[in-house]
Amino acid sequence: MSKEINVHQIELAKLIERHTGRDGTQMTAIPSLFFSRFSDAAGPFYGVYKPSLCIVVQGMKEVFLSQELFRYGPADYLIGSVHLPITGQVTEASSAAPYLALKLEFTPSEILEVLREFQMGADKKENAKRGMYVSKLEPSLLDAVTRLVRLLGTPKDIKVLAPLIIKEIIYRVLQGNHGGMLKQIAIEGSSTHQISFVIEHIMNNYVQSYKIEELAEIANMSVSSLHRHFKEVTAMSPIQFQKQLRLQEARSLLLSESADAADVAFRVGYESPSHFSREYSRMFGLPPKEDIKRLREQYDQRAKA
């Protein structure tokens, strides 16, 4: 790690500690910017990553996309270019050196705006690529991120300056070694752009059953092309993608409501409670009732700490 990067990391660690002060993931006054802090190794966490830039300032994290592992720390950054259901865990953290990280979410339209403004073209004919990657952190990118976080100390400047710095951050990422992958999500007619329509459709209609031909029509692809490109972007099939969304939503419902597992199974699209319970156990390691009990006990322990 270069001296310049290390200086920014030290400053960012102090800023994140100042604006969090407790464990967990927290919003900031900049709507698309989030901070995470954990005093111990934690996880696994299940969720859907929105298109975003993630930087670990202190500690280490692992993210699983299906069976594919992405590990990153202070020398790297992670990009998710589309919505992706993932499993994450903090692998290095302590009370003396807590895990500190930030996430900046962005939209395809923000990427497209940067591409147009700076005339950064991309080949529409490029094949779809994985919607998540880890790249080495560069001083110019970290400098822009540090300036964005500093704005939290001068709230009156956020409305004017934050959009400008976010645009610079996206520009820096697009200029990076893997920037071409991010470009594809915003380029109309690219395979990744077409797959993003299918991802959005499944996310908005995950409870419903669908035919693969319907998804192929949305993507304007043949069924075989849809399967190939969808798996390239998401590391899973459309059915597996839908299953992860259903199970994550079911877990959220079970945790937030006093609902019966069978009722939740039907609400997220399962026709058989026993089938739901088997798939839930495979994903989360325990049947629904036992898993929710474990989660609530963990939350209670954290609250008392």
Question: What CATH number is given to the structural domain containing 296?
Answer: 1.10.10.60
* Residue 45 φ/ψ, nearest 5 degrees: -110, 140
pLDDT the model gives residue 122: 57
pLDDT the model gives residue 183: 84
pLDDT the model gives residue 240: 96
Average pLDDT across the chain, whole number: 91
pLDDT the model gives residue 181: 81
Comparing 8 with 5, which gets the higher pLDDT? 8
Identify whether residues 107 and 37 lie together within a single domain. Answer: yes
Identify whether residues 182 and 33 lie together within a single domain. Answer: yes
Residue 208 has pLDDT above 70, yes or no: yes
Identify whether residues 20 and 129 lie together within a single domain. Answer: yes
Identify whether residues 199 and 300 lie together within a single domain. Answer: no
What tens digit of pLDDT does each residue of 252-287 get? Answer: 999 888 789 999 999 999 999 999 999 999 999 999
Question: Rounded mean pLDDT of 105-134?
Answer: 81
Identify whether residues 135 and 232 lie together within a single domain. Answer: no
Share of the chain above pLDDT 90, in %: 74
Residue 65 has pLDDT above 80, yes or no: yes
Identify whether residues 205 and 114 lie together within a single domain. Answer: no
Identify whether residues 211 and 180 lie together within a single domain. Answer: no
Alpha carbon distance 31, 191 (integer Å): 30
Alpha carbon distance 59, 244 (integer Å): 27
pLDDT the model gives residue 297: 82
Comparing 187 with 105, which gets the higher pLDDT? 105
Identify whether residues 207 and 272 lie together within a single domain. Answer: no
- The tally of domains found in the chain comes to 3
Identify whether residues 228 and 245 lie together within a single domain. Answer: no
CATH code for the domain in which residue 22 is found: 2.60.120.280
pLDDT the model gives residue 219: 94
Please, are residues 108 and 186 in contact by the beta-carbon 8 Å criterion? yes
Please, are residues 186 and 113 in contact by the beta-carbon 8 Å criterion? no
Comparing 201 with 186, which gets the higher pLDDT? 201
pTM tops 0.75, yes or no: yes
Identify whether residues 84 and 214 lie together within a single domain. Answer: no
Q: Which of 34, 31, 164 is nearest to 110 (CA)?
A: 164
Question: Rounded mean pLDDT of 8-20?
Answer: 92
Domain span at residue 246?
Answer: 240-304
pLDDT the model gives residue 153: 95
Q: Which residues contact 40 (CB under 8 A, 6 or more apart)?
A: 90, 93, 94, 95
Question: Rounded mean pLDDT of 205-219?
Answer: 94
Reported as a pLDDT band with limits 50, 70 and 90, residue 121 is low
Residue 76 has pLDDT above 70, yes or no: yes
What tens digit of pLDDT does each residue of 283-299 get? Answer: 999 999 999 998 888 77
The helix (H) or strand (E) run that includes residue 92 is strand 84-92
Question: Rounded mean pLDDT of 44-73?
Answer: 94
Residue 230 has pLDDT above 80, yes or no: yes
* Residue 284: exposure state from Cβ atoms within 10 A (0-12, 13-18, ≥19): buried
Identify whether residues 9 and 124 lie together within a single domain. Answer: yes
- Which of 21-35, 134-148, 177-191 is the least confident region? 177-191
Please, are residues 29 and 152 in contact by the beta-carbon 8 Å criterion? yes
* Residue 56: exposure state from Cβ atoms within 10 A (0-12, 13-18, ≥19): buried
Identify whether residues 149 and 250 lie together within a single domain. Answer: no
Residue 305 has pLDDT above 80, yes or no: no
